[in-house]
Structure 1
Amino acid sequence: MPELSALTDATTALLIELIRTPSFSREEGPTADLLVDFLRRHGAAPQRAGHNVWARNRHFDPAKPTILLNSHHDTVKPGASWTYDPFGAVLVGEQLIGLGSNDAGASAVSLLATFLHFQERADLAFNLICAITAEEEISGTGGIRSILPQLGRLDLGIVGEPTQMQLAVAEKGLVVLDCVAHGRSGHAARDEGENALYKAVDDISWLRSYQFPETSPLLGPVKMTVTQVQAGSQHNVVPDRCSFVVDVRTNECYSNEQVVATLRQHMQSEVTPRSTHLNSSGIAPQHPLVQRALALGRQTFGSATLSDQAVLPFATVKIGPGDSARSHTPDEYILLSELRAGIEGYINLLEGFSF
């Protein structure tokens, strides 16, 4: 079993390599190469499909329950406001600055360290699969969903995302709606046509004021936000079409399909969901892992942000080093102390754990 200090040093070096290697969604091949090489050098037997990399513990026993350790190695693209090189992996005091350092490189390498810590152990009450996957930032079909059939039965998932090592026991779902209001064009100077923009405004006004009756104690209400509107071709023509986009964050009280059905009942506009598979997720408060986290002094909360939890069809929690508020921001960073605490926190969560 590797020493914790050696694991921390090795995974910090890996994180620096990952930051210095661009890995935008669907372009993660070079960082997948790094992950395969890292696991091989540390005695694991990695497997790869596309840009997804995973490994099983040495004494994997199909009769035991299996825990998935999962995080992602893709990043968003850096904005123009960065003052440091996004791929520089610059160390300023305790801050390791670079794109993907916080979201979710620190979680990914901490989970890898945890896996290596346990991989040779024959006395575990569970199996471990560590999967560092692609396309999380775009909820892409080439990410974790694409390899689930190859992973076999999974009984529990620990999803690594920046939560300050507190335990997210529920997560809001997401459905993006493309809406179109239809009218009839006419001259703006005369009482002609049927203004699609006005129809859209009526629907948008309803969306602003409507509240779904059921509110989650952890996740709060369903939240609907209009984020884009487009209508009209010139100043003197009544628009016959107005399109708008709605970002809907769902709680566990409603499936995405139920939310879409409710909106279609109340709105004049056509409502088309881009997908409905990113439902809210959660875990029972009585689950042994939740109880263990509480015993270790972790706080539980409901998360408003989306992760690969949404596509994992079994009990999951979300926990990891770093702060969600830094994600997708200029000069994103992770503290070295947070990285060490992440590795220790994951190991403490699993040491002696049983279902």
Structure 2
Amino acid sequence: MKSINILTQEAIALLKSLIETPSFSSEEDKTALLIENWFTQNSIPFKRENNNVWAFNKYFDENKPTLLLNSHHDTVRPNQGYTNDPFKAFVKNSKLFGLGSNDAGGCLVSLLATFVYFYENQNLPYNIVIVASAEEESSGKKGLNSVLKHLPELECAIVGEPTLMQLAVAEKGLLVLDVIVKGTASHAAHNNADNSIYNAISIIEWFNSYQFEKISEQLGPVKMTVTQIYAGKQHNVVPSQCDLVVDIRVNDCYNNSEILEIVRKHIIAEVNPRSMHLNASSIAVNHGLVQAGIALGRTTYGSPTLSDQSVLSCKSLKLGPGETLRSHSADEFIYLSEIEEGIELYIKILSDFFRQ
């Protein structure tokens, strides 16, 4: 078995290669090859579909429950604020710079190192499967959700996202609605009591003021925000339709179907969800994974940001090195010490969990 120190150095080297290989969502084929090479160099059989790469522990036993380790290797596109080359991995002041270093390359390579550490253990109480997933940033159809059909039933999961190695025990889901408000078209010079834009005002106000009854202990209330509005093409024509886009961040007290039903009940408009599968996620604080983290001094919290947890039906914990505020920022970086700590804590948490 490789030492944790060697695994850490190899993980950092892999992260540098990942940074220097563009991997925008749905364009991750070259970073998938790098991950394949990582498994090959560690003599680990793997499978790949599209740009998702996954592997099982050596002594997989179908009679044991299965734990998923997951993080993604796609990135957003670099923003215009970069002063560094986003595809140049370099270390300065103990920080590793480059696009995807923090979100979520540091998490991914730390989980890959952790998987290698446990890979040849014959006496694990759980199977381990690791998935390096694609299309997380775009919530694409060829991401983690497309791989789940190839996996056994999952008992629980650790999803690697930058949390400063604190325990995100809940995560808000996302429901985006296209709302079509109807009216009657007419010349602007004539009286019209059925102006679609005016009809939309009360609907916008409802989205702004409505309070859902159930408030999550970890995630707080459901939050609805009207983010886009489209209506009219000419100054002298009252439009027959006003279109709204509504962003809804769903807590773990509701599923997306329940939210949709409530919205449709309260407003007079056509309401079309863009997708229904990005549900809220949670794991009980008394779950063994969480308790193992707490015993190591980790704190729990609820996360407002979306991840691949949203496509999982099992209990899942979001946990990883790096800081979420650095994600999608200019001159993105992760501290080398965060990767070192991440690998060490992942291994300790799983070791303690497996002993329970």
Which band: TM-score by shorter chain? over 0.9
Please tell me whether the aligned partners of residues 100 and 332 of structure 1 are also in contact (alpha carbons under 8 angstroms): yes
Q: Which runs of 5+ in 2 are unaligned?
A: none
Name the CA distance, whole Å, in 1 between partners of 2:61 and 2:278.
Answer: 31
Letter in 1 for 2:303: S
Q: CA deviation at 1:121?
A: 1.5
In the alignment, which residue of structure 1 is the partner of 2:40? 40
Asked whether the 8 Å contact 1:179–1:243 carries over to 2, the reply is yes
Q: Distance in 1 between matches of 2:192 and 2:249?
A: 38
Deviations 1:261-311 (A, max 9, x none): 111121122111111111111112221111111111110111111111111
1:110-125 equivalent positions in 2, closer than 5 A: 110-125=110-125
Matches of 1:18 and 1:335, distance apart in 2: 16
CA shift, 1:22, in A, is 0.7
Q: Distance in 2 between matches of 1:234 and 1:124?
A: 68
Cα distance, 1:353 vs structure 2: 2.3
Contact 1:194–1:238 (8 Å) recurs in 2: no
Contact 1:82 1:331 survives alignment (8 Å): yes
Q: Which secondary structure does the structure 2 equivalent of 1:162 belong to?
A: coil
- Asked if the contact 2:292–2:352 (Cα under 8 Å) also holds between the matched residues in 1, the reply is no
Q: Structure 1 residue 49: deviation in Å?
A: 1.1
Q: Which residue is 1:63 aligned to?
A: 63
Q: Measure, in 2, the Cα distance between the counterparts of 1:314 and 1:33.
A: 29
Matched to 1:156, the amino acid is C
Partners of 1:194 and 1:84 in 2: CA distance: 54
Aligned length: 355
Match of 2:186 in 1: 186
Indicate the residue corresponding to 1:140 in structure 2. 140
- Asked if the contact 2:66/2:152 (under 8 Å) is kept, the reply is no
- Give the structure 1 partner of residue 239 of structure 2: 239
Q: Which residue of 2 aligns with 1:163?
A: 163
Give yes or no for contact 1:232–1:239 (8 Å, CA) kept in 2. Answer: yes
CA distance in 1, matches of 2:100, 2:80: 16
Which residue is 1:276 aligned to?
276
- Superposed CA deviations along residues 85-131 of structure 1, whole A, max 9, x for unmatched, are 11111322211111111111000000000011111112322221111
Q: Any idea what the Cα deviations from partners look like across 1:292-346, whole Å, max 9, x if unmatched?
A: 1111111011111111111111111000000111111111111111111111110
- Check if 1:50 corresponds to 2:36: no
Cα distance in 2 for partners of 1:193, 1:64 equals 66
Tell me how far apart the structure 1 counterparts of residues 153 and 238 of structure 2 sit (CA, whole Å): 57
Tell me the equivalent position of 2:227. Answer: 227
Q: CA deviation at 1:192?
A: 3.6
Matched, 1:17 2:17: yes
Distance 2:197 2:268 in 1: 12
1:219 deviation in Å? Answer: 0.6
1:31 and 1:53 map into 2 onto residues whose CA distance is: 10
Comparing 240-249 with 283-292, greater Cα deviation is found at 283-292
Paired residue secondary structure (1:112): helix
Retained in 1: the 8 A contact 2:96–2:333?
yes
Shift of residue 31 of structure 1? 0.4
TM-score normalised by L of structure 1: 0.97
Shift of 1:58: 1.4
> What is the TM-score of this pair, normalised by structure 2?
0.97
| Alpha-carbon distance in 2 for matches of 1:192, 1:245 | 25
Counterparts of 1:28-107 in structure 2 under 5 Å?
28-107=28-107
Q: Is the 8 A contact 2:161 2:320 kept in 1?
A: yes
Say what the alpha-carbon RMSD is for the aligned residues: 1.2
Deviation at 1:63, TM superposition (A): 2.0
Give how far 1:193 is off.
6.4
Deviation track 1:4-59 (CA, whole Å, cap 9, x = no partner) reads 11111111010011011111111110000000011110121121111011111112
> Quick check: 305-314 or 86-95, which moved more?
86-95
The correspondence of residues 227-306 of structure 1 with structure 2, limited to 5 A, is 227-306=227-306
